[in-house]
Chains A and B, each alone.
Chain A
Amino acid sequence: MKIFGNKKTTAQVLDTEPSKNSNSMATKQVRYEALVKALHGDLYRYGYWLTHDKQVAEDLVQETFLRAWRALDSLKDEKAAKSWLITILRRENARRFERKRFDMSEYEEASIIDTQSTSTEQEIENRWLRDKIAQLPPEYSEPLVLQVLGGYSGEDIASMLNLNKNTVMTRLFRARNQLKDALEKEPEKVRIIHER
């Protein structure tokens, strides 16, 4: 009788263990799916502006989320998820450079221009701006993308990029300044952009 009792307790322990386990597994899955759905667009765009290449950006995002899945337990604050993911993506991108030496200035303009055939004025303008953003030095374009697209403050960007806040603000100023200059050098575009 006693043996039977003992057996039952072991059975109970065995029974609760996997369900606990699968529960946390399910929670993790739900968290992950929510992260993917909410942030994959931002991540992709960020990757795109970092690499100027759609395919590479997609690969980076995939690699980033795969790493995120493995390390998901270390993400305690959901609000920090986006900057956490961006940090992973930047690290992945740096790793890509370690793998093969790739000269940043070698990017081809053709890869920036997107190939949508319908060209409304808005799209022409967007394309022109994209081209100009892509021509910014990466140290200027990266904080600009984080600020405009990511909505991060100067302080946030400074900590994400491991830079001094003043440096970040200067770069942001220069980035916009250069873009404005470029606009003014092309009267045609100035007309399109300013008359709208």
Chain B
Amino acid sequence: MKDSTMSENAMPASKMDDLEFRRNIYAAPSRQDKDIIAAQKADPAKKKLAQELCQFDEKLKQAMKVPVPDDLCHKLLLRQTLASHQQEKRKTRFHLALAASVAIVAGLVVNYLQFSSSYTNLGDYALAHVYHEANYFSNNDNTRISLTSLNKKMTTFNGNFNEPMGELISADYCRFDGMKSLHLVFQGLTDTVTVFIVPKAEHLAFADKFSDDKLQGESLSFEHANVLVVADKNESLSQWQNVINDNITWSI
């Protein structure tokens, strides 16, 4: 260190000593500083050393250029594509989840509105139900349902009819305010007579007799089910009730 300072002071910058030149050229062979070039011009030995080091650097460079895997470039591009695809997917997954949540909530609301009872007692609902389906049945329908097939359906309610109770036009399960019940349509005097066999439910109050300006109805309460008869005002409901009461047997 002392030497180099001394030499620097003793000589102009263009005439750097061997050691300093060596240090410089070894540290950065391709550097083209003024003083380095000047030193090379002044001393052929330094020029030779500089050239040698440049050649050596070229060899080092060749040696350092280890072969790059051919597929690395493609791998990098592919990985990025996959990574951003994952990101996209995560985004769409989030949107999908959001959509699903909205759909579930919407479903629940619809379900609540549709199946929650807006009727407070059996009679109101029964009347509404009959009006709703009035167009599907007429007293003149020719289709008849046999007692056997009626009783097959009655097994759901553990009930059985012993004898036919008139001309049965239709016997089908239906939703009676959300409950699975049996909907029977008989031929009546002037219009159809509808009989519902409905499971006992707490959310609808039992209504013994009900009516509006066109229709009347009566309910019979059995152990497992209520039986409702709805007909127009010409019909004797008590007669129907008696027939049903005599005819029906409940199994356990």
CB neighbours (8 Å) of B77 from chain A are 33, 36
Find the residue from B27, B72, B75, B83 having the highest chain A CB count within 10 A.
B27
Query: Knowing A129-B59, A129-B60, A169-B27 touch, does A69 contact B72 (C-beta < 8 A)?
Result: no
Q: Which of A41, A145, A148, A170 has the most CB of B within 10 A?
A: A148
A66 with B64: CB separation less than 8 A:
no
Residues of A contacting B61 in the complex (Cβ-Cβ under 8 angstroms)? 148-149
With the chains together, A49 CA to B61 CA distance in Å?
12
A125 contacts B by Cβ under 8 Å:
yes
Interface mask (B56-76 → A, CB under 8 Å = 1, otherwise 0): 110111111111110011011
The proximity string for B residues 78-120 relative to A, scoring 1 for CB distances below 8 Å and 0 otherwise, is: 0110011000000000000000000000000000000000000
Contact B28 A180 (CB under 8 A): no
Point out the residue from A36, A54, A170 that lies within 8 Å of B27, measured CB to CB.
A170
Q: How large is the interface on A (under 10, 10 to 19, 20 to 34, 35 or more residues)?
A: 35 or more
Set of chain A residues within 8 Å of B27, measured between Cβ atoms: 154, 169-170, 172-173, 176
Q: Which of A61, A147, A170, A177 has the most CB of B within 10 A?
A: A147
Decide if A45 is an interface residue (CB 8 Å cutoff): yes
Do A65 and B80 touch (CB < 8 A)? yes
Quote the shortest CB–CB distance from A61 to chain B (angstroms). 7
Interface size of B as a range:
20 to 34
Min Cβ gap B46→A in Å is 16
Closest to B57 in A: A148
B23 contacts A49, C-beta separation under 8 Å: no
Contacts of B56 in A (CB 8 A): 176, 179-180
Q: Are A58 and B66 in contact (CB under 8 A)?
A: no
Q: What's the nearest-Cβ distance from chain A to residue B139, in Å?
A: 52
Q: Kindly list chain A residues whose C-beta atoms are within 8 Å of the C-beta of B57.
A: 148
Q: Does B222 contact A (CB under 8 A)?
A: no
B53 within 8 A of A: yes
- What separation, in Å, do the CA atoms of A57 and B75 have in the docked complex? 14
Distance, CA A149 to CA B62, complexed state (A)? 9
Given contacts A114-B67, A176-B53, is CB(A148)–CB(B60) below 8 Å? yes
CB of A193 within 8 A of CB of B59, answer yes
**Which residues does chain B contribute within 8 Å of A144, judged by CB atoms?**
60
Q: How far apart are the CA atoms of A130 and B66 in the complex, in Å?
A: 9
Q: How far is the CA of A58 from the CA of B68 in the complex (A)?
A: 9
| B26 interfacial contact with A, CB 8 Å | yes
Q: How far is the CA of A154 from the CA of B26 in the complex (A)?
A: 12
- The residue among B53, B65, B68, B76 with the most chain A CB atoms within 10 A of its own CB is B76
Nearest first, the 4 A-B pairs at minimum CB distance are A129-B63, A173-B27, A172-B27, A169-B27
Taking Cβ atoms with an 8 Å cutoff, the residues of A that contact B are 32-33, 36-37, 40-41, 44-45, 48-49, 54, 58, 61-62, 65-66, 69, 114, 122, 125-127, 129-130, 133, 144-145, 147-149, 153-154, 169-170, 172-173, 176-177, 179-180, 193
25 sampled A-B residue pairs with Cβ under 8 A: A36-B76, A36-B80, A44-B66, A44-B69, A45-B64, A45-B66, A49-B64, A61-B72, A69-B83, A122-B62, A125-B63, A126-B63, A127-B63, A130-B66, A133-B64, A144-B60, A148-B60, A149-B64, A169-B23, A169-B28, A176-B26, A176-B27, A176-B56, A180-B26, A193-B59
